[in-house]
Amino acid sequence: MLRCAGMDLRLLAGVDEAGRGCLAGPLVCAAVVLDYAAAPQRVLAGLRDSKLLTARRRENFYQTILTSCARWSVVSVSPDSLDARGLHRSNLAALASALRIVEAAYDVAVVDGFDLGRDELRCSAVVGGDRRSAAVAAASIVAKVTRDRLMHALHAHYPAYGFDEHVGYATRRHRQVLAARGACPFHRLSFAGVSTHQLSLPEPDDM
């Protein structure tokens, strides 16, 4: 049980995103509600920011989180939507949407770093929340694993870009392929790392 401002809080939601800095693929936001009175202590103690875990450990935690949490949600924002609305606005809206789906299931929520400006969602921004809150760490893992799976599936259609290796981040190989081939339909055309190489939109058969 947690205590905050004299109140006993049992159900805490964490919300986080994956893929914010990528050149390709969706932005994925996840919310996870943990019941601190019922969740296995081994799960709470072992949760870490997804960036500090290996891919295998993230996959293992992913299954454990989904089976032991009180509720969870995932919201995905397409590259086209990111280009049209902008990254920051899209990110805030997706984080809020993920929380709204699970709103009835939590007492308070913690957002990793961003003030959503939505008092009705009973949420607070905590810088470094994915390293300070088990609920936010759980959300970061769910968002990361969900997005990585999507990018691996996308690799089957566009293998030349190496999405199975860098999952859309601006690695040297990714930038080299962009310079040689231009963007595919799942690149974020408004991003500087893509727009400078935007020559054409190849079809899957051309890859």
Residue pLDDT, tens place only, 31-85: 999 998 877 666 667 787 678 888 999 998 999 999 989 999 999 999 999 999 9
Q: Which pTM does this prediction carry? A: 0.88
Task: Residue 113: name the closest of 192, 1, 29 by CA.
Answer: 29
pLDDT digits over 97-139, tens only? 999 999 999 999 999 888 998 888 999 898 888 788 889 999 9
- Domains of the chain, first to last: 2-155 (3.30.420.10), 159-201 (no CATH)
Q: What is the pLDDT of residue 42?
A: 66
